[in-house]
Structure 1
């Protein structure tokens, strides 16, 4: 994990598929919001992914990928979150942020653990792991890490709590690679519709046909949206 900033709202940053903690800086994302970091409005905590041994390992059946991803989530909750809390001088609400596959991570962990992560900022994501070259029998591990599946069945007191607790920002472009091969544009629209069905707070922001699935787009989108949340 790499931390940027000295004060402000803590934001846990997931990298794009297979990425490392330094990717956010190397791809201009830290520089895009340097003014917020320098002003003490936000602190970014960038972590490594585990995608190579989880969702991106097409040699594994989908259920095993989901089980391995569960171990990655436990690392986030048991190691990363306490470190962030200590670095911030005590327990604080942490926002999540991610681009591409990182957007899925940001949304999934916020919906599953809204007590810790009440806000997710998601750029160009696809939120249905069963669409990612899935194969093999799928069980509980896949279901409970598939926001498109479990959100559809939310009800009762837990749904009421989520409505009060969590908020998601879903941003996507309509340019190159946002439809094929990533499925980000249709996936984001479908996820927004699913959240709307359940009355879960979210915002859908669709950018133009000149906005592709790439780092310069995410830089502009982050500059546009992050100041509202810190």
Structure 2
């Protein structure tokens, strides 16, 4: 399995960013790390090993991107600055990572995937840009970071504005009525995976209900137990990526 390391200075984020690439061909996958984690964690957790047969067969090529969650959602800056930094990260993905992938891989299609907060990143960016992505897989994620839950705080301390609204799928998805956007979303291959005992179960069920209300096809898979650990994600990626 080919493995390549890349690093460049991001003019958008004004810092160096790193990416690990696994494979040479196949549909490219942008794999977002878990909360405040890094581009190498999925490799260390053997999740990339679980994908090795698909990567070596040329079915997918995986791009493990880095996170700046500690500078956005989990920073001590004012809430408006937190969401602003997140939007810069999204811009980095769209304007730096995606073109980087397109130069390396001419295969049509682009998958967004992630676990835990990485699942939020994947689903949020794919729902906002359904013409860029063709498939999204969110595993063990929550889709409303403003909702306090057991052991998980409101990441904006009660603050709410338009930028936050348009980056919380459980807020903006139910209100979508634009026919063009709905057609684009209905072409997106959407998979949500969550554990039955996961704190985020209701969050996922709410998003699934909202997608049903606007007639957007998707799959919601509920696993036994909490299923919010690398040993579960190793099995999930085999099935859904």
User: Does TM-score exceed 0.5, indicating one fold?
Assistant: yes
Deviation at 1:136, TM superposition (A): 4.6
- Please name the residue that 2:92 is paired with: 75
Supply the distance in 1 between the matched residues of 2:165 and 2:54 (Cα, whole angstroms). Answer: 37
CA contact (8 A) 1:163 1:200 kept: yes
- Please name the residue that 1:106 is paired with: 122
How many matched pairs? 217
Query: 1:149-204 deviations in whole A, cap 9, x for unaligned?
Result: 111210032343234322310001124xx22xxxx212111111111111112100
Once superposed, what is the RMSD of the aligned Cα atoms? 1.5
Does 2:223 match 1:200?
no
- Please name the residue that 1:158 is paired with: 180
Partner secondary structure for residue 206 of structure 1: strand
Gaps of 5+ in 1: none
Supply the distance in 1 between the matched residues of 2:72 and 2:32 (Cα, whole angstroms). Answer: 14
- Please name the residue that 1:66 is paired with: 83
Query: 1:37-84 deviations in whole A, cap 9, x for unaligned?
Result: 111111000100110011122x33433211110000000011000000
- Please name the residue that 1:213 is paired with: 228
Supply the distance in 2 between the matched residues of 1:28 and 1:111 (Cα, whole angstroms). Answer: 28
Gaps of 5+ in 2: 1-18, 148-152
| TM-score (structure 2 length as normaliser) | 0.85
Supply the distance in 2 between the matched residues of 1:106 and 1:75 (Cα, whole angstroms). Answer: 14
CA contact (8 A) 1:5 1:40 kept: yes
- Please name the residue that 2:146 is paired with: 130
- Please name the residue that 1:38 is paired with: 56
Partner secondary structure for residue 29 of structure 2: strand
Moved over 6 A (4+): none
CA contact (8 A) 2:131 2:184 kept: no
Larger strand percent: 2
Supply the distance in 2 between the matched residues of 1:124 and 1:203 (Cα, whole angstroms). Answer: 14
1:5 corresponds, among 15, 18, 23, to 23
Query: 1:118-170 deviations in whole A, cap 9, x for unaligned?
Result: 21111000000212423253211101111111112100323432343223100
Larger helix percent: 1
Per chain length, whose mean CA-contact separation is higher, i.e. which structure has more relative contact order (CA < 8 Å, sep 6+)? 1
